[in-house]
């Protein structure tokens, strides 16, 4: 009786091994991350507005990172430096996320150019992005002047990002992709919070100026 059971188990093991070998041979044929993302997108369709949003926000974030990284060398106050470090760290990571999302869907992946998006021999600025003149003005400022210009310009910059999010969701069927939805929603919440904080910091600077 014991041998009969052993024989049965042995036959099952042989059958399992026979099945495993073809699977192992096909292991390299398993879909890549990019292919899985493409298949997932068929279930959760993305639109041209999702692509435009993710592409445009790369340039938008790139400029914010440059602005924030100037804080230590431009004599920013401690509070502004802390804010800038948070912006630079967070938005750098999000640039990587957006580039990965585009790559996984076989879309062009732009470099993070803080000057804006190249368009037919010209450069297009996303909503809220600083003009070259504003960037020069910020770069030329130091100390308290840098703090003031940075806060004014970054509030402008953040409000532009909110406009981009609103535009995305205004198009029917856009923002449905899980990654795009989560990212766009996070941008809206985070940047609204930062706008409120920067307005408080700016009001404190103006109040201190008026007391002098």
Output the pLDDT for position 50: 98
To which H or E segment does residue 122 belong? strand 122-124
pLDDT one digit per residue (tens) for the chain, 212 residues: 444 444 445 555 545 444 444 544 444 555 565 666 666 655 567 999 999 999 999 999 999 999 999 999 999 999 999 999 999 999 999 999 999 999 999 999 999 999 999 988 899 999 999 999 999 999 999 999 999 999 999 999 999 999 999 999 999 999 999 999 999 999 999 999 999 999 999 999 999 888 77
Nearest to 59 by CA among 133, 182, 180, 161: 161
**Distance separating alpha carbons of residues 202 and 206, to the nearest angstrom:** 6
Output the pLDDT for position 36: 61
Output the pLDDT for position 31: 57
CA distances from 205 to 68, 193, 197 (A): 19, 19, 13
Output the pLDDT for position 152: 98
Number of other residues whose CB lies within 10 A of the CB of residue 46: 23
Coil, helix or strand at residue 178: helix
């Amino acid at each position: 009786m014991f041998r009969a059971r052993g024989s049965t188990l042995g036959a099952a093991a042989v059958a399992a091994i026979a099945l495993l070998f073809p699977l192992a041979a096909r292991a390299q044929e398993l879909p890549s991350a990019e292919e899985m993302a493409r298949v997932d997108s068929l279930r959760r369709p993305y639109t041209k507005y999702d692509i435009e949003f993710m592409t445009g926000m790369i340039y938008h974030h790139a400029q914010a990172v440059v602005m924030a990284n100037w804080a230590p060398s431009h004599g920013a106050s401690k509070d502004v430096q802390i804010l800038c470090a948070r912006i630079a760290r967070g938005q750098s990571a999000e640039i990587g996320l957006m580039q990965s999302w585009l790559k996984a869907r076989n879309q062009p992946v732009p470099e993070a150019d803080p000057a804006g998006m190249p368009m037919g021999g010209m450069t297009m600025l996303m909503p809220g992005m600083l003009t070259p003149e504003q960037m020069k003005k910020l770069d030329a400022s130091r100390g308290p002047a840098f703090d003031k210009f940075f806060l004014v310009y970054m509030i402008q910059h953040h409000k532009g990002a909110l406009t981009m999010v609103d535009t995305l969701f205004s198009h029917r069927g856009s923002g449905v992709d899980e990654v795009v939805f989560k990212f766009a929603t996070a941008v809206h919440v985070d940047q609204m919070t930062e706008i409120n904080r920067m307005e408080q910091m700016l009001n404190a600077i103006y109040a201190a100026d008026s007391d002098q």
